[in-house]
Structure 1
């Protein structure tokens, strides 16, 4: 047999298309991660200035005049209000100006990410130096000793997301990407739900009691983990129902390539470029990371929006999976593993 014939037999058009798709995902991965993370640059970080009215107005004018608009300052008259808004995650930092002294105090929250804290300290040290003043720093919501850089919440959520799409992918590879009927779709979703509960619990226990990386309620992290895993898993099942085995690649595109660099983990949201900052809160990694940090360091505040995002992914994914299964003929064979035209056994 000639080489060309061997090549045609070894690499089918379907396999060639999938390889090209893998190459595209690889290049998008490189572009997304480098594009989002190669040059962290603060933009419109929400900060408060606590000072008498005239001093606050002058300070806000100086902060607004900084090149590149790194800060979005607003005046507050009460230190306790500033601390409360930081714990509510309404602002990221607060500058306390004492006109009777040459030293001011910057309130930070390293639990929301060390990279943002370092950037804010650097900016305010330069501002204070220009005014011939010094700066003291107080951490209102410090990252735990076992959570260097405040990254454990991000890595925990990434692990949950990986589990979600891999579990759905295994179901597709083992028994066909598209469930043959509604009953089998329900079974897949039930397996996904059980897996989500177990993996959510184990992830929370590892991050909390076992490694001591994250403080906060283990039960709350467990619930978050179950929701993250199921949201990603249900979305992957839905994409597989719509696009077959290619749906796994689309799930990776959404969760890994778009979701992880925009999640605010290694580089918090206010330091990301506009595109990634815009999409991050709407994707499971971003919503999950925000919520995990709130549970660990901010008394569980400001989680309603991200939880609604995760719930929407879970609900829409479940609905699409069931609708697509109901449209298939009962017992119809579907596409199986990569490189095969049909599943080697009855789809489940």
Structure 2
């Protein structure tokens, strides 16, 4: 009869195939990470970025044909263009006044796009012999003029929700308590996140409480998605969550530039994942009175409710499995008792 190895036995030497597989797997993982994080940034360029033009119909049509990568909408006057910017319909506008071409931007919507619009205005004015000025109707606070705090927030949001779910699964073992813990993490995490961005980094200057509620929704969506995938699919669920939130969600969030600056359709896909949706919602709530935030809110609600549904389904399935196992154990014990009594 084969003997089981004792704890004091020397460890088995891995086969060359195992070592080679490990090396190849790690190399492939590193290549995938570099591709996921660097490729979107390396190919950053305008892709149907919505902007406005205040000019005659002829001038607007000419500019629309010349501005590759921009989706141009004509407005009758500067006030109409400003309303469209504040409603998050466009990122900025070119205002043609004779030979002068001025830029109206909202750098809080995207510093990269605001810079591009200002550059276009200066270039067009240079060809007409006029002058160019830029008016920024909504900017980041002076302490963080480029919005670095918001741009850097995608990875902490993804990792925070993933790590929170892991800790909850590790330390808390009852389904109801796990749900309460996830809600508590979301509330406290949202308050701390916005407090840090507002009072430490200086990225936000809007309503602290309203912005905190938005952050709570984003963290809850991430946390419940990880909980649900882990409860239903086990280790495979964690791998799926890591791919969606970290490998794809972070680089495709568009927070460093704008979703329309990423290659098509990656910018759109990024807005369907929690990091991108949360970042866009925070931007809309903090700087634009919630205008344009409905899409992000619906996306996050789908992740939150979908994650909760997966979690409850996993709990139900595991409970049924445990009940079947207990019934089989009970039947086996009963058969043994009967056999013993007979003998």
- How does the TM-score come out when normalised to structure 1? 0.82
- The counterpart of 2:260, out of the listed 270, 277, 280, is 270
CA contact (8 A) 1:42 1:119 kept: no
CA apart distance, 1:236: 0.6
Q: C-alpha distance in 2, partners of 1:125/1:290?
A: 29
Instruction: Say whether residues 1:41 and 2:31 are aligned partners.
Output: no
Provide the residue aligned with 1:61 in structure 2: 61
Q: C-alpha distance in 2, partners of 1:207/1:173?
A: 29
CA contact (8 A) 1:116 1:270 kept: no
- SS of corresponding position for 2:133: strand
Alignment deviations for residues 54-85 of structure 1 (CA, whole Å, 9 cap, x no partner): xx223222322226x22111211122111111
- SS of corresponding position for 2:53: strand
Q: Quick one: structure 1 residues 19 and 332, their matched pair in 2 at CA, closer, same or farther if it must change by over 3 Å?
A: farther
Instruction: Say whether residues 1:30 and 2:42 are aligned partners.
Output: no
Provide the residue aligned with 1:71 in structure 2: 70
- The counterpart of 1:283, out of the listed 249, 270, 273, is 273
Instruction: Say whether residues 1:153 and 2:158 are aligned partners.
Output: no
Query: 1:193-342 counterparts in 2 under 5 A?
Result: 193-329=183-319, 332=322
Instruction: Say whether residues 1:135 and 2:142 are aligned partners.
Output: no
CA apart distance, 1:39: 3.0
Provide the residue aligned with 1:81 in structure 2: 80
CA apart distance, 1:249: 2.5
The structure with higher relative contact order (CA 8 Å, sep 6+) is 1
Instruction: Say whether residues 1:112 and 2:109 are aligned partners.
Output: yes
Q: C-alpha distance in 1, partners of 2:187/2:318?
A: 29
- SS of corresponding position for 2:66: coil
Provide the residue aligned with 2:91 in structure 1: 92
Q: Quick one: structure 1 residues 17 and 305, their matched pair in 2 at CA, closer, same or farther if it must change by over 3 Å?
A: farther
Q: Quick one: structure 1 residues 4 and 20, their matched pair in 2 at CA, closer, same or farther if it must change by over 3 Å?
A: farther
Q: Structure 1: give runs of 5+ residues left out of the alignment.
A: 334-348
The structure that has the greater radius of gyration is 2
Alignment deviations for residues 7-41 of structure 1 (CA, whole Å, 9 cap, x no partner): 26xx9x8x999997765543322112221001321
Greater alpha carbon shift after TM alignment, 115-124 vs 216-225: 115-124
Q: C-alpha distance in 2, partners of 1:300/1:47?
A: 20
Alignment deviations for residues 148-198 of structure 1 (CA, whole Å, 9 cap, x no partner): 3223223345423321110112234557xxx7xxxx233212211111111
